[in-house]
Amino acid sequence: MNYGITSDGFLKKSLVILKAEREDALRAVFGEINVDAASVFGQMIGVETKTQADIWELLEIIYHSMSPSSAEGVLLDNVCQYTGITRLAASKTEVVGALIGDSLTSVPAGTLVSVQETKEIFETTELKVIDKTDVLKTTIEIDDVAILYAYTVTIDGSPYVYVCNVLTVEDVASNLVAVIDAGQDAVDVVDNLDGTFTLTIADKRTSFSVDISPAHMSYVNLGTPVDFIAQNTGSIICPANTMTVIETPVAGLSSVVNLLDGATGRDQETDVELRIRRKESLKVVGAGSVEAIMARLSQEVEGVSTVRVIENFTLIDSQRLIFDAAFVTGNVINGKVNGIAWIQVPFNTNHDLTAVDLVAAIDALTDVSCILDPNDTDNRTFIIDKVVDVNVTDVAVTGGASQAGSSVVDSTPPKSFEAVLVGGDEAEIAQKIWEVKPAGIETFGTTSETITDSQGIDHVIKFSRPVYQYAHVKVSLTLNPEEQFPDNGEAVIQQNILDIGNLNSIGDDIILQKFYSAIFDEETGVDGVASADIELAVTANPLDSPAYLTSNIPIAPTEIAVFDLTRIIILIL
């Protein structure tokens, strides 16, 4: 048999073969000899062939080190560098928070705050002074009523004036709020109905300056922005309005809040992830196609860990009607299109038939066309074309053993695409989208940035951050009395479920069957379990009470499921 590099690849000599060859060679010279392991010849053969086997192992590693499909660790790093790809290092989540407190309060770098649910710690990256010239939000109080006094709030140099002719501070605040609201769009203003009102920058990220007339008004607090960074590396989620716990008290600092989601960090890229990204990077030379846009955003924008691109290549504007739970026999779906009720459609055990019936009921309405979303194999998404100005309202599912919720989601406009991303600087994302998008094609999304092209023309580039759906998993175990359930069995199952859940990306449904391997996998599971029942749920907020289901949980194309150990419950029956 040929060993070494062959037409079929590299064939390594094993230690057994090397020993047999050495024994035969010695017998050819000395005749019949004792080659037992305890003999002199046996010991000599063992020493020599062990070294030879190590050399063959090294040769095999060197051979496979040139292939991205088989190289590992630093050898894979070296192979990937040939295509300009380097392994992504672990990074930390970054988030902009508002330091809310008294004017001129100095908040030192390294001040610690945390997310209430996850207890993840973030720290300020620089010393910051709370100041009225650098504000994300502020609350202002009417101190007293002064008839004919000109109550003035100046925002970014523009004054907004209300001359008082009312008797209560609540009325003064209300009238001043109306003046501000009518005069500008950059700042949202809310009347708190108690003689105070709150100003918040509309885009939640660009600070503004604010000043008030010197008498009869005062600042309840000012909120100045500062950058925070997580203490730990990894995919630490920091949704808007969750970083609120002050861990390092500072005199004059009353609260902290992040108005926007944080830019999520990541763990160091694994070999599997690096191989996939290297393969995807081969599409980077392109532009305009969905695959090329995803590749360029993930490869060329620092900090971007996940990308999904949704396109509408038709000329039809539409609305999507999405049911977010399983259909149940006996339910009835109700709804209206442009105020006209469609025919009530009862659910039965054949979901396909139910879906077809619903399409027919909506199609029966004048000038409205309805089809099943071809990308949804569960038949729970219906695309209603805007042949006329479609307004889907009053959608409800009633009756039966349980109810399925529904929502109406505007799809991307005609001839447009929506990039949904985790991580990355928003200005850099917008710039890259501008560089790779097709000419004349509109971008769509919930976040927007303005870029200036080479001709000095401004363009608004839109994209989206995924909507977090907080996953809950409940596992009920029946133990096997003939086996030993380990002391740390519950913790092992929890961690296994978390690892499986963290593999979900944007738009990935939560598949119930995947989680059984957390218990019964031969390598990573646990002994001592006779049977297990797994239930799943998602909530819009992490602390909401879950409504568990024993079925898959659908996740919309612009959503991502977020898993955490605190929401994984193990029960032993």
CA distance 68 to 24: 39
* Residues in contact with 48: Cβ distance below 8 Å, sequence separation at least 6, in sequence order: 22
pLDDT at 258: 95
Joined tokens for residue 207:
């600070």
Query: In this model, does residue 266 exceed pLDDT 90?
Result: no
CA distance 365 to 370: 10
Across the chain, mean pLDDT equals 85
What is the share, in percent, of the chain residues with pLDDT greater than 70?
86
CA distance 569 to 534: 10
The count of C-alpha atoms lying within 13 angstroms of the C-alpha of 533, restricted to the half-sphere facing its C-beta, is 9
The three-class DSSP label of residue 462 is strand
**Which range is least confidently modeled, 61-75, 192-206, 252-266, 508-522?**
61-75
The three-class DSSP label of residue 323 is strand
Query: In this model, does residue 528 exceed pLDDT 50?
Result: yes
Q: Which residue has the higher pLDDT, 299 or 319?
A: 299
Query: In this model, does residue 271 exceed pLDDT 70?
Result: yes
Query: In this model, does residue 526 exceed pLDDT 90?
Result: yes
pLDDT at 328: 58
Tell me the pLDDT tens digit for each residue of 6-56.
777 788 888 998 998 888 888 888 888 888 888 888 898 889 899 998 898
The closest of 77, 419, 425 to 273, measured between CA atoms, is: 77
Query: In this model, does residue 129 exceed pLDDT 60?
Result: yes
pLDDT at 404: 45
Any idea where the domains of the chain sit in the sequence?
A: 4-64, 94-257, 283-313+414-463, 318-410, 468-572
Q: What is the DSSP letter of 82?
A: G
Which run of H or of E encompasses 279? helix 271-281
**Which range is least confidently modeled, 68-77, 189-198, 333-342, 550-559?**
333-342
Query: In this model, does residue 394 exceed pLDDT 70?
Result: no
Is residue 485 classed exposed, middle or buried when 0-12, 13-18 and 19+ CB atoms within 10 A define those classes?
Answer: middle
Tell me the pLDDT tens digit for each residue of 302-316.
888 889 998 877 666
CA distance 500 to 478: 22
pLDDT at 400: 45
Supply angle C-alpha 144, 146, 147, rounded to 5.
145
Section 97-121 average pLDDT: 94
Tell me how many helices (H) and strands (E) the chain has. Answer: 10, 33
pLDDT at 348: 57
Binned at pLDDT 50, 70 and 90, residue 290 comes out as confident
Section 190-208 average pLDDT: 93
CA distance 380 to 372: 8
Section 364-371 average pLDDT: 73
Q: What is the DSSP letter of 553?
A: B
pLDDT at 12: 87
Query: In this model, does residue 231 exceed pLDDT 90?
Result: yes
pLDDT at 63: 78
Extract the runs of DSSP E, i.e. beta strands, from 58-111: 92-101, 106-107
Strand partners, 211: 154
The three-class DSSP label of residue 366 is coil
CA distance 423 to 265: 7
Tell me the pLDDT tens digit for each residue of 423-476.
888 999 999 999 889 888 889 888 889 999 888 899 999 999 988 889 999 999
Joined tokens for residue 507:
């738009």
Full strand arrangement of the beta sheet holding 369-372:
369-372, 381-385, 318-323, 406-410
Section 390-417 average pLDDT: 59
pLDDT at 395: 63
Query: In this model, does residue 247 exceed pLDDT 70?
Result: yes
541 CA to centre of own chain:
14
Q: Which residues of 378-400 are buried (b: 16+ CB within 10 A; e: fewer)?
A: ebbbbbbbbeeebebeebebeee
Q: What phi and psi values does residue 519 have, to the nearest 5 degrees? A: -105, -45
Is residue 450 classed exposed, middle or buried when 0-12, 13-18 and 19+ CB atoms within 10 A define those classes?
Answer: exposed
Tell me the pLDDT tens digit for each residue of 319-332.
666 665 455 566 66
